[in-house]
């Protein structure tokens, strides 16, 4: 799966196999001239532009019915638009994919039937942290061998997020005294496929808490390069990270901070920067993610649950303002003994960001 994501990122097509059909797919933002030639050489029909419905609405500048992106029906996952030959150019396709670039589609682009394997194609682009916009063409399963491109099954692609979570194992551990928590350890987790690592920061002895006293504190924290490392004022991630560690150090039960490699609610750092550009043009944080083709929140809470289980922590007091995190952990089998409010005052820059979290995401900031 990681090789397939890597191939998309470097502009090479990937063949996605279904039970009866196959689809050649290349990422619109990265596909090279050679990649387009390979796609054309293996195609059994005309190429089309595949967009996540939320991105298609932004491109078409009109509403597009939004199905459940988790549903198996291809129409729920994507919109397909015919690509005239004049648009089959790498520079043009990059602009078609990127909502911060100029619009180059015809005024009324022709919609075509959505291929059956569209959900897997969109999911693979998201796994690669690319914009969910792809050039696709029907192909035969034998096209992979003839073109020397990687072939993956749609079933593999769609199952990957959960399978990566359930195969997490501890691979390294060290004592790392922190400024606000001298008694801290960091444990690294890696999935069986060797993918991106997630970290657990343990403060005190949270594994031993909960038997005869309160459950340990826990925070599910998605990495934020701009907020956590640079002190960005656009969000509240940095104060939440450091504030959580400080509270855990002060709590007799200790705590665990799960530092997940799910930047920007799962869209990745590059796309988060694109979302910031759209926010500067007037969109809020939710609509900016949608304009990129992503959902409001693309994170996978199975990762956090499996890490807690591996640590022997089955019950937590969750440091969060997000009801979805409470529901997500509970749905994954972790007992949430209570919610601990964890909000910080606006700083003059992130006021609207926090207001949007409360108004549109339901965060409990009062």
Whether the predicted pLDDT of 319 surpasses 70:
yes
Do the domains at 2-161 and 168-262+299-360 have one common CATH topology? no
Q: Once rounded to an integer, what is the mean pLDDT over residues 215-238?
A: 95
**pLDDT in the model for residue 101:** 64
Helix runs in 281-347, H state only = 285-292, 302-310, 323-331
Res 85: pLDDT: 85
**What pLDDT band is residue 86 in, cutting at 50, 70 and 90?**
confident
Average pLDDT over residues 229-240: 95
| Residue 137 confidence (pLDDT) | 95
Task: Tell me yes or no: is domain 168-262+299-360 CATH 3.40.50.10990.
Answer: yes
pLDDT, mean of residues 196-209: 92
User: If you average pLDDT over every residue of the chain, what do you get?
Assistant: 89
Question: Mind listing the pLDDT tens digit for each residue in 245-267?
Answer: 999 999 999 999 999 999 999 99
Counting residues of the chain whose pLDDT is more than 90, the rounded percentage is: 61
pLDDT at 210 over 90: no
Cα angle 362, 365, 366 (rounded to 5 degrees) comes to 115
**Residue in this structure with the two tokens 């959902």, named with its chain if needed:** 295
Span 2-161 CATH architecture: Alpha-Beta Complex (3.90)
pTM of the model: 0.90
6-9: list long-range contacts, CB under 8 Å, 24+ apart.
6/128, 7/149, 7/150, 8/124, 8/125, 8/128, 8/130, 9/128, 9/130
Specify the pLDDT at position 351. Answer: 92
Question: Using one digit for the tens of pLDDT, what is the confidence trace for 11-61?
Answer: 999 999 998 899 999 999 999 999 999 999 999 999 999 998 888 877 776
The full set of domain ranges for the chain reads 2-161, 168-262+299-360
Tell me which of 204 and 99 has the higher pLDDT: 204
Distance CA 366, CA 211 (A): 32
pLDDT of amino acid 115? 93
Residue 128: predicted pLDDT? 94
Contact 132, 51 (CB under 8 A): yes
Give strand pairing partners of 170: 189
Dist. CA 78–CA 54, nearest whole Å: 9
pLDDT band for position 276 (50/70/90)?
A: very high
Q: Catalytic amino acids?
A: 297, 299
Dihedral sign for Cα 117, 119, 125, 130, please: positive
Average confidence (pLDDT) over 263-288: 93
Looking at residue 335, what is its pLDDT? Answer: 92
Supply 161's token pair: 């997020």
Contact 158, 119 (CB under 8 A): yes
Position 69 confidence tier, pLDDT thresholds 50, 70, 90: very low
For the record, the structure tokens of 2 come out as 């990681």
pLDDT at residue 245 in the model: 97
More confident residue, 136 or 57: 136
């Amino acid at each position: 799966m990681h090789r397939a994501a890597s191939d998309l990122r470097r502009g090479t097509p990937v063949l996605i196999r279904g039970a009866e059909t196959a689809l050649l797919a290349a990422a619109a933002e990265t596909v090279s001239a050679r990649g387009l030639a390979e796609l054309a050489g293996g195609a059994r029909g005309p190429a089309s532009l595949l967009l996540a419905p939320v991105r298609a609405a932004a491109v078409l500048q009109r509403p597009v019915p939004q199905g459940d992106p988790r549903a198996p029906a291809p129409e729920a996952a994507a919109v397909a638009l015919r690509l005239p030959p004049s648009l089959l150019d790498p520079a043009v396709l990059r602009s078609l994919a990127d909502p911060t670039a100029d619009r180059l589609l015809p005024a009324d682009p022709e919609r075509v039937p959505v291929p059956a394997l569209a959900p897997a194609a969109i999911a693979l682009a998201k796994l690669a942290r690319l914009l969910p916009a792809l050039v696709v063409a029907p192909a035969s399963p034998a096209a992979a061998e003839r073109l020397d491109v990687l072939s993956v099954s749609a079933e593999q692609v769609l199952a990957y997020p959960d399978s990566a979570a359930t195969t997490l194992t501890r691979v390294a551990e060290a004592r790392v005294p922190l400024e606000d928590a001298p008694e801290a350890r960091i444990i690294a987790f890696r999935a069986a496929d060797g993918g991106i690592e997630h970290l657990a920061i343990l403060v005190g002895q949270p594994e031993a808490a909960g038997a005869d006293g309160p459950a340990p504190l826990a925070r599910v924290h998605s990495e934020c390069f701009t907020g956590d490392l640079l002190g960005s004022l656009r969000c509240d991630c940095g104060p939440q990270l450091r504030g959580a560690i400080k509270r855990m150090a002060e709590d007799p039960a200790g705590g665990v901070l799960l530092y997940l490699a799910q930047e920007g609610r799962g869209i990745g750092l590059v796309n988060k920067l694109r979302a910031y550009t759209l926010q500067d043009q007037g969109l809020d944080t939710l609509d900016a993610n949608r304009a990129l083709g992503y959902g409001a929140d693309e994170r996978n809470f199975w990762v956090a649950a499996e890490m807690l289980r591996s640590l022997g922590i089955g019950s937590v007091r969750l440091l969060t303002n997000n009801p979805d995190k409470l529901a997500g952990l509970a749905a994954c089998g972790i007992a949430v003994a209570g919610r601990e409010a964890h909000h910080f005052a606006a700083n003059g820059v992130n006021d609207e960001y926090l207001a949007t979290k409360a108004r549109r995401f339901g965060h409990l900031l009062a």
